[in-house]
Structure 1
């Protein structure tokens, strides 16, 4: 630490939580509950945002949960989540999540959270989803007051930069920067819950490759997640986990200023790139199974943009508005030529693409609610379901781009949320939960991010508080002296 840096006074800050999204607040509240009644011990949360913007991605998400009921997952939950990763996600991690689900849901409801079954923006999905009332922000709005009642201190506009260790390598504090310059917050234990690195273009470019400038932040919370929590743990010897060149992607309207301006109705038309050509089977599966790979395929197109083109038959999709979260109206035109001109696409090529597609459609029954087998024949790429001709004007078009929600790469942790080092042993007094921990590969199993943030955030807080009890009193005094220079 620089000699110019100031040092915080000894304040008894025993546990420092980095980040105040669902994982961070779950950790802070559960740790404070464990430490209640123990004098001289406290919990502090640091967050780089101001109070109105704090909460990371959790503040903006709908927070759908992959649950059959409040206390139950589907019988295939563990197998499904592991299969999404090609077998690389730890089944033990997922089994721990399932085991702690009932008590965690009971706990957060005890703090005032409520849940309901609510139709999702996946208009043709049959997978179960539960949603907290008020979405992710609703969860934060019950946990933050609970934390304050328990005496948790919040330091906003305060960015954690690096961990501090004593000469023996023991964790003693966290260096932070904020309105008061650089300080060291004393800590006997640290919980990292600061999200991924999706808000840092330099790290994104280094890890993902591709033109990351084309990726649209799904919501304002993305910009606060710059990866310092992950980096400081790696510098302390933490092992990396998850797919570092992968990220959770969603298809959005690039014209829209709305957070999560989703366009989840791509199966009911054709997707063309800016050259006027189709590039993907739009109907290869239900929306919840294909939206992420569709968004990534759009990112790979020239300029990172595509256009969903449909016509008046789109009205037959009676729940279509549920899958369109952009507030910007579609581009409307009477003919393919007029639509091409309005979108700035090559007119002849688009006309040929639409004509070839229309000629390839095989007639059959149409059912927007489920895969209906109505397909094309003799063209590449094919369309496997929901293949209706685009021939009933006026025509409609939505621009579509790829949004980054969160990154898959992060820290390796055990089932008690302890950060693991390169030797697979836990790093003493260092814990992590939420999107800063790496479990995902290839494809995101929807409805699991907020769920794991809440469950493992609570586990992290409890583990940190309980293991803190193994510190002898004289070591507490020694630690404070080392950090404060006393």
Structure 2
């Protein structure tokens, strides 16, 4: 049994940790359920200030992997399971598909509208839906609803440890806020505090590398893994791929959130020695950007350079694929470009000349894989191979950014946290990125979706379950 430490105490029916899409959905859902059942107290805590709160949701475009507002698409379940080579639980994805219509109806009652907007995956035809205003709009719809329902939000407050009752169920959480330490006793605790991407030591330990990763947005810094660790300390099971993460290729010179460089198939990528190291055109951008970013992370210095020439102008949608606000490095010759980038001049010239000689003639179509490739080159280029010979030449440095980690807690259909034996831990729920789901590569457009759906599920279930438990108000 974990006993509470000294300090102030209070009680609630449900405590939610984290104010991203999963946490806000859970808090609102719990409060709505309380109103339906005669009342109840919901406390939401977040380590950030009010202005900074919202986790990664605040910074994301929030693309959703669905065909229409109420329609996940026929291949939704098999596609997501296939992304993980069958390691992602099919029941979880089926639950997402089943709960989608009611959840989308729910969020629309709060004023959210959806629109099909072009993505930065400029050569992919996969459908994406987006809330108008992105992830921040979702939060701005949920926050006033939470206030209207009486959810008590405590900013600048960090959860440290779960409290257990005599029966081993969770009965509260120890937190530290502006007024010092406090124990919040509760009938249920919902962890929705993201992954551990904001803790370099935690990352190095699980990923097996100390090579730094660029945070994709300011929200990354608040996700330090305490929520996951607290649950593991009381017997929670792990799920997802703990030594992997969602990666994106970004311009390290740019300080704006998500400074993506998604046009890498239309040119070549070289390492700091001036050598190509990957087939830049092996698939559409949405299929290859993550593995490309991870390959760059594994290079000496963790950096690569995207090099192209005037022919990039033939890619009509190129501006959608370049989100960095820093202009490219330009030069009238490859030699001068190498000098500007600090790359070996002779080696870069040799790399470009060898690539140009290997390019096969044929029509170029930036919109889809065109089969315009190289021959006799290693690594090959499978599509969009154009000679780099029409200056001025330009380049973007690229590093690997971390969006979120794949490893997290194991849960059931109600969002209740499970032990290694598959048994639910009483009073403990989790939703969003702190729950382990992904393996291999990230199936784009699912993180916000699952946070919203399972946040809503766990909030309602937790509030109903707490009716059969009386939150403790004295130290155990």
TM-score bracket relative to the smaller structure: over 0.9
Alpha-carbon contact 2:26-2:457 (below 8 Å) kept:
yes
Deviation of 1:468 after TM superposition, in Å, equals: 1.5
* Partner residue in 1 for 2:271: 273
Report the Cα distance in structure 1 between the residues aligned to 2:72 and 2:378, rounded to whole angstroms. Answer: 39
Deviation of 1:38 after TM superposition, in Å, equals: 5.1
Structure 1 residues 348-359: aligned runs within 5 Å: 348-359=346-357
TM-score, structure 1 as length reference: 0.96
Structure 1 residues 405-444: aligned runs within 5 Å: 405-444=403-442
The gaps in structure 2 that reach 5 residues or longer are none
Deviation of 1:240 after TM superposition, in Å, equals: 0.2
* Partner residue in 1 for 2:152: 153
DSSP 3-state at the match of 1:36? helix
* Partner residue in 2 for 1:134: 133
In the alignment, structure 1 residue 187 sits paired with structure 2 residue 182 = no
Structure 1 residues 181-260: aligned runs within 5 Å: 181-213=180-212, 215-260=213-258
* Partner residue in 2 for 1:389: 387
Deviation of 1:482 after TM superposition, in Å, equals: 3.9
DSSP 3-state at the match of 1:265? coil
DSSP 3-state at the match of 1:405? strand
Alpha-carbon contact 2:216-2:403 (below 8 Å) kept:
yes
In the alignment, structure 1 residue 77 sits paired with structure 2 residue 76 = yes
Structure 1 residues 18-417: aligned runs within 5 Å: 18-36=17-35, 41-213=40-212, 215-417=213-415
Report the Cα distance in structure 1 between the residues aligned to 2:291 and 2:315, rounded to whole angstroms. Answer: 22
Deviations 1:78-107 (A, max 9, x none): 001001111000000000000000000000
Alpha-carbon contact 2:190-2:429 (below 8 Å) kept:
yes
Deviation of 1:169 after TM superposition, in Å, equals: 2.2
Alpha-carbon contact 2:169-2:425 (below 8 Å) kept:
no
DSSP 3-state at the match of 2:249? strand
TM-score, structure 2 as length reference: 0.98
Q: How large is the RMSD of aligned CA atoms in angstroms?
A: 1.3
Deviations 1:248-279 (A, max 9, x none): 00000000011000000000000000000000
Alpha-carbon contact 1:201-1:212 (below 8 Å) kept:
no
Report the Cα distance in structure 2 between the residues aligned to 1:335 and 1:362, rounded to whole angstroms. Answer: 23
Report the Cα distance in structure 2 between the residues aligned to 1:433 and 1:128, rounded to whole angstroms. Answer: 25
Deviation of 1:41 after TM superposition, in Å, equals: 2.1
* Partner residue in 2 for 1:481: 474
Change (3 A) 1:144 1:396: same
Alpha-carbon contact 2:66-2:72 (below 8 Å) kept:
yes
* Partner residue in 1 for 2:7: 6
The gaps in structure 1 that reach 5 residues or longer are none
Report the Cα distance in structure 2 between the residues aligned to 1:264 and 1:92, rounded to whole angstroms. Answer: 33
